[in-house]
Amino acid sequence: MKSAIPHLRKNAALGVFCVLFLFINIITLNDGHNWGDDFAQYIHHARNIVEHKAYDAPLMLEEWVTVPPGFPLLIAPIIKLFGLNFPILKFMNILYWLLATLGVYALAKRYTSRPAALMIALVLLSSPRFFTFKQNVLADIPFSLFVVATVYAVMRFEDSPLREKPALKMFWLASIFFFSGYAFLIRNAGVILFLALAIHFMIYRRSLRLIAGLAAALAGIWLMQQSLGVAPAQYYERLNISFSQWAHLLIKNISSPFTLMYQFFTPDLFGLWPKLDRLVTGLVKGAAPLILLAMAAVFIYKIKKKTLAFWENFLILFLFLMPFWPIPDGRYVYPIVGFALMAMIRAAEGIELILKRISGRIPFHAQKCARSVLLILFILNVATTGMLFNFNDNMIYQSEPLAVMRWMTTHMKSDEHFMFHKPRALGLLTGRMGTPLWMHSKDKNNMAGRIRKFDIDYLIIIKQFDRPLIDQLEPAGVTVHSVWESPTYQIFKVLEL
């Protein structure tokens, strides 16, 4: 008991902040969701699982990518027990982020120091980016958890003595395969974990059996997704390009990982000083190629010296491959923000060591400087979260969208089709099937063709933006009649094709 007291005291600050994190984020959960369509896709697949339907049963008329089953499997029990309950679905984000942060804390204690690990955890838990993003039912937060869990399992696997505790060693090896496999089931970016694991096992284990096991696991998950109608290859088709196109993508997006992380760590409070924000953003973009070159040099050097930690391995691969991913999005960096803070501290320690060898003097203390930076980030986070405390981006449960949904369920037959900007969200909430008003810019001039192609019965528009789409229909031989409207939305019945 006495030996446990110092341990509890050391973790008391983190424990208190975890409780505050839970309390503040739970009381600020909102019902409903924004108009983003992706959440509807995940919930639709979860419903298909619960209702024993085909996993890839469509949600809209237009052919669309079937998302991997990892996240729908996680939320399917919630859908089964509570139905479409947004606060409970969003609560899982809070739980996943807390567990991921605790995993990063454990890793940072090992590779930096306990005080630095605590500051990293506080920065992550106080993040205003997470504070607002938790209102989304999306796969990014659970994916981040399984990434961190994989990295933690690798650390424990390497720490476990094979001769003394072979069962424990096998447990952590099985955990590595499970967590990395499930990360790949959640998002196809999880393939980077397998690549990092293959490099790690080649460096430290030189075991063909482990490499073969990884390949078999990856192939098995790939085939399972294919059987459900998921096509992982669709996500990698853009990589099947010429060398010149690869080079163009790299040059175009080379700074995106670093600008996205800068935006994560410098909250909206920086918007009060736009000139400073533009200056720092420019510096980050300019430094990005140099940072990547330095990381490549460190990667090669540490591989040769066999000192490359798995979290460093994964972080560097992730940053190098991000420029080739689809359109950059801030949520793509969530799995690596904790590792990035750890890398910042390790880089500061490396600079300190180099300066000490050159001059014999230490002009700064790396750990203290890094903790000072983390403290500033923490204070900015708390201030910004206070400004965002009443954040509510719910749109689907506002009065006008609800009126649209009531009209649809009352007047539309189950086999009638509609067009709307966000057909998956509206289809999920009404049980009707639709398609977007347009998918590509060229579609805006072919509304009549799309109406005929998908046998559309109703058009639902946002009056401020979509009226020109309606005006082009009569000259194209399509007659429509307004049957309902509100200040924002208007519904047209297609009378003649």
In the structure encoding, which two tokens stand for residue 198, read together? 């293959």
Q: Interhelix angle for 256-265 vs 337-359, to 10°?
A: 100
Is the predicted pLDDT of residue 7 greater than 70, yes or no? no
* Nearest to 139, CA basis, from 28, 261, 25, 39: 39
Tell me which H or E stretch contains 233. Answer: helix 233-236
Handedness of CA 64, 234, 315, 194 (dihedral sign): positive
Q: How confident is the model at residue 43 (pLDDT cuts 50, 70, 90)?
A: very high
- Taking the C-alpha atoms of residue 381 and residue 128, their distance in angstroms, rounded to an integer, is 6
- Pure H helices in 271-309: 274-305
Tell me which H or E stretch contains 149. Answer: helix 140-159
Q: Which CATH number fits domain 399-496: 1.10.1060, 3.40.1350, 3.40.50, 3.30.40?
A: 3.40.50
Using an 8 Å Cβ cutoff, are 40 and 430 in contact?
no
Task: With H, G, I as helix, E, B as strand and everything else as coil, classify residue 411.
Answer: helix
Q: Interhelix angle for 310-321 vs 140-159, to 10°?
A: 150
Q: How confident is the model at residue 268 (pLDDT cuts 50, 70, 90)?
A: low
The number of C-alpha atoms within 13 Å of 48 and in the hemisphere containing its C-beta is 21
- Taking the C-alpha atoms of residue 82 and residue 41, their distance in angstroms, rounded to an integer, is 18
Q: Which of 19-28, 29-38, 259-268, 309-318 has the weakest average pLDDT?
A: 259-268
Tens digit of each residue's pLDDT (9 = 90 or more) over 436-467: 998 888 888 889 999 999 999 999 999 999 98
How much is the mean pLDDT over the chain? 89
Residue bearing the bigger pLDDT, 303 or 354? 303
Using an 8 Å Cβ cutoff, are 489 and 400 in contact?
yes
- Taking the C-alpha atoms of residue 408 and residue 147, their distance in angstroms, rounded to an integer, is 41
Is the predicted pLDDT of residue 127 greater than 90, yes or no? yes
Is the predicted pLDDT of residue 4 greater than 60, yes or no? no
The CB density around residue 214, as the number of other CB atoms within 10 Å, is 20
Q: Domain segments of the chain: what residues?
A: 99-387, 399-496
Tens digit of each residue's pLDDT (9 = 90 or more) over 343-368: 999 988 888 887 777 776 666 677 78
Q: Identify the residue whose tokens are 């420029």.
A: 323
Give the dihedral of Cα atoms 424, 427, 429, 432; nearest 10 deg: -170
pTM of the model: 0.92
Using an 8 Å Cβ cutoff, are 401 and 487 in contact?
no
Is the predicted pLDDT of residue 237 greater than 60, yes or no? no
pLDDT score, position 272: 65
Instruction: Report the share of the chain in percent with pLDDT over 70.
Output: 92
Q: How confident is the model at residue 1 (pLDDT cuts 50, 70, 90)?
A: very low
Tens digit of each residue's pLDDT (9 = 90 or more) over 392-427: 999 999 999 999 999 999 999 999 999 999 999 999
Q: How confident is the model at residue 160 (pLDDT cuts 50, 70, 90)?
A: confident
Q: Which of 54-63, 123-132, 270-279, 416-425 has the weakest average pLDDT?
A: 270-279
In the structure encoding, which two tokens stand for residue 494, read together? 């297609």
- Taking the C-alpha atoms of residue 371 and residue 117, their distance in angstroms, rounded to an integer, is 9
Q: How confident is the model at residue 198 (pLDDT cuts 50, 70, 90)?
A: very high
* Nearest to 189, CA basis, from 157, 153, 154, 142: 142
Task: With H, G, I as helix, E, B as strand and everything else as coil, classify residue 461.
Answer: strand
**Amino acid code (one letter) for 31:** D
- Taking the C-alpha atoms of residue 355 and residue 345, their distance in angstroms, rounded to an integer, is 15
Q: What share of the chain is helix, strand, coil (3-state, %, to 5)?
A: 70, 5, 25
pLDDT score, position 238: 53
Tens digit of each residue's pLDDT (9 = 90 or more) over 135-151: 999 999 999 999 999 99
Q: How confident is the model at residue 497 (pLDDT cuts 50, 70, 90)?
A: low
- Taking the C-alpha atoms of residue 455 and residue 418, their distance in angstroms, rounded to an integer, is 9
Residues in the chain: 497
- Taking the C-alpha atoms of residue 52 and residue 42, their distance in angstroms, rounded to an integer, is 15
